[in-house]
């Protein structure tokens, strides 16, 4: 039986470099846009989908299909964090309360670069990881409740996956979020 | 030790179901199969990783196999094989070796044509994404006709090949056995790809 699984590892490190918490979460799910982009690429034709602004977009095959490799300092795509707590729905097209990049107080985090590792094979499992680190210099504790994965797609941004998970990040602490994508035969 | 969250137990999957409908020359259904695909193989992750990272990597093609350099491209994952081609889209073969994560091609692919042991490959069609309840899905289908002198042709494996640049890569291989009589009998394979929240 095919198994295609995604785990999220969340590692919180305090301002002194001590690991405060390490949790592994099974993702809730890809949402509809994942199927839209996949169908578009597989069929090499135009599909209607919805970007994070709720705009209806004619999605055509793109070089950037599935691109999550965001630079640091940007909170538009790659792994993103937010404050929303509403249960995940297949039709979600954005995170509920996205944290912006910055140090300006309130719900802001400094976004590192979003990096993607190579595929590795161990036994009958193939795996690769997507990784991003966030630092809290907001001046107060930031409480994360949702993790999302956004795709940059020809100047648009699509939510591919959204998972609820609670993370508390003290001022000066940082959190490393790693998606591990696996296929096992 | 890493603690597993107790609040999020549900597995995430991109699920793939395989349906096969075999019809005789008069269009009567003689066999149906409904099963979960055995697995994506590593090339699925290879190409997904290339697209997500906007990087490049080597991926084994469906030939010898040969490791090809695949770059991020709008054509990656293209499975819309045209009629008469067995290079991409759903493909069928006679191999029956167990599936492994490193499989890069079918055991023995059946060629297109009407000579002995050949099948006529139809067009690959990819349906629209639909949402029913908490599931989003789309289907991929293809039909083969046995116009050869071989009666029947027995299929043991079904694969999903995609195009990337000038080469082809296997995304999935599933063992499934069905026989197609000659004289115009057909088999239609439908993949249903879905995600569920």
Are A89 and B134 within 8 A, CB to CB?
yes
- Cβ contact (<8 Å) for B11 and A5? yes
Residue B84 tokens, joined: 């008469």
Would you write out chain B's pLDDT as a tens digit for each of its 197 residues? 555 544 344 554 788 999 999 999 999 999 999 998 867 899 999 999 999 999 999 999 999 999 999 999 999 999 999 999 999 999 999 999 999 999 999 999 999 999 999 999 999 999 999 999 999 999 999 999 999 999 999 999 999 999 998 999 999 999 999 999 999 999 999 999 999 88
pLDDT of residue A28: 67
Residues 6 or more apart in contact with residue B132 via CB below 8 angstroms = none
- Cβ contact (<8 Å) for A68 and B52? yes
Candidate from A28, A38, A130 with C-beta closest to B77:
A38
β-pair partners for A55: none
pLDDT of residue B70: 96
- Cβ contact (<8 Å) for A163 and B54? no
d(CA A182, CA A7): 8
Please state the length of chain B.
197
Q: Is A6 on the interface with B (CB under 8 A)?
A: yes
How much is the ipTM here? Answer: 0.94
pLDDT of residue B38: 66
Residue of B nearest to A163 (CA): B8
Determine the structural domain holding residue A97 and report its residue range: 3-184
- Gap from B186 CA to chain A (nearest CA, Å): 23
Residue of A nearest to B47 (CA): A119
Residue of A nearest to B54 (CA): A67
Contacts of A85 in chain B (CB under 8 A): none
Q: How many folded domains does chain A comprise?
A: 1
Contacts of A45 in chain B (CB under 8 A): 80, 126
Contacts of A35 in chain B (CB under 8 A): 129, 136-138, 193-195
Strands (E) across chain B are located at 3-4, 14-23, 29-36, 56-60, 67-71, 89-93, 120-121, 125-126, 130-132, 135-145, 153-164, 167-180, 186-196
Rounded mean pLDDT for each run of 10 residues along chain A, 185 residues in total = 82 91 85 95 95 94 95 96 96 96 88 96 94 96 96 94 95 96 91
State how beta strands A19-26 and A3-13 pair.
antiparallel
Contacts of A28 in chain B (CB under 8 A): 8, 10, 12, 197
Q: Is A32 on the interface with B (CB under 8 A)?
A: yes
The domain ranges of chain B are: 14-196
Q: Is A181 on the interface with B (CB under 8 A)?
A: yes
pLDDT tens-place string over residues B122-161? 999 999 999 999 999 999 999 999 999 999 999 999 999 9
């Amino acid at each position: 039986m095919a198994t295609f699984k995604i785990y999220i590892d969340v590692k919180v490190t305090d301002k002194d470099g001590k690991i405060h918490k390490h949790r592994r979460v099974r993702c809730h799910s890809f949402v509809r846009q994942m199927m839209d982009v996949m169908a578009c690429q597989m069929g090499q034709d135009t599909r209607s989908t919805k970007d994070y602004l709720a705009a209806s977009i004619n999605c055509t095959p793109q070089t950037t299909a599935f691109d999550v490799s965001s630079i640091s300092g940007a909170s538009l795509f790659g792994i993103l964090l937010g404050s929303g707590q509403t249960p995940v729905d297949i039709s979600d097209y954005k995170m509920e309360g996205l944290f912006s990049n910055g140090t300006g107080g309130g719900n802001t985090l400094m976004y590192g670069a979003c990096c993607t590792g190579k595929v590795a094979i161990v036994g009958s499992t193939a795996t690769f990881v997507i990784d991003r680190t966030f630092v809290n210099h907001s001046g107060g504790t930031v409480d994360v409740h949702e993790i999302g994965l956004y795709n940059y797609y020809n100047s648009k941004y699509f939510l591919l996956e959204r998972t609820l998970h609670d993370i508390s990040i003290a001022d000066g602490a940082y959190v490393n979020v790693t998606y591990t994508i696996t296929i096992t035969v | 030790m890493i603690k597993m969250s107790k609040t999020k137990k549900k597995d995430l999957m991109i699920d793939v179901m395989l349906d096969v409908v075999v019809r005789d020359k008069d269009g009567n259904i003689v066999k149906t199969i409904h099963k979960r695909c055995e697995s994506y193989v590593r090339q699925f992750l290879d190409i997904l990783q290339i697209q997500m990272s906007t990087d490049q990597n080597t991926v084994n093609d469906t030939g010898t196999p040969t490791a090809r350099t695949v770059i991020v491209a709008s054509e990656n994952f293209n499975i819309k094989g045209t009629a008469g081609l067995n290079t991409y889209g759903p493909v069928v073969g006679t191999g029956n070796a167990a599936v492994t994560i490193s499989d890069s091609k079918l055991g023995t692919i059946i060629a297109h044509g009407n000579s002995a042991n050949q099948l006529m490959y139809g067009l690959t069609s990819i349906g629209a994404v639909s949402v029913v309840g908490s599931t989003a899905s789309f289907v991929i289908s293809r039909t083969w006709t046995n116009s050869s002198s071989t009666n029947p042709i027995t299929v043991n494996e079904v694969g999903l090949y995609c195009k990337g640049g000038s080469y082809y890569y296997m995304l999935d291989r599933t063992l499934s056995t069905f026989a197609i009589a000659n004289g115009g009998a057909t088999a239609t394979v439908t993949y249903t790809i879905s995600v569920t929240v």
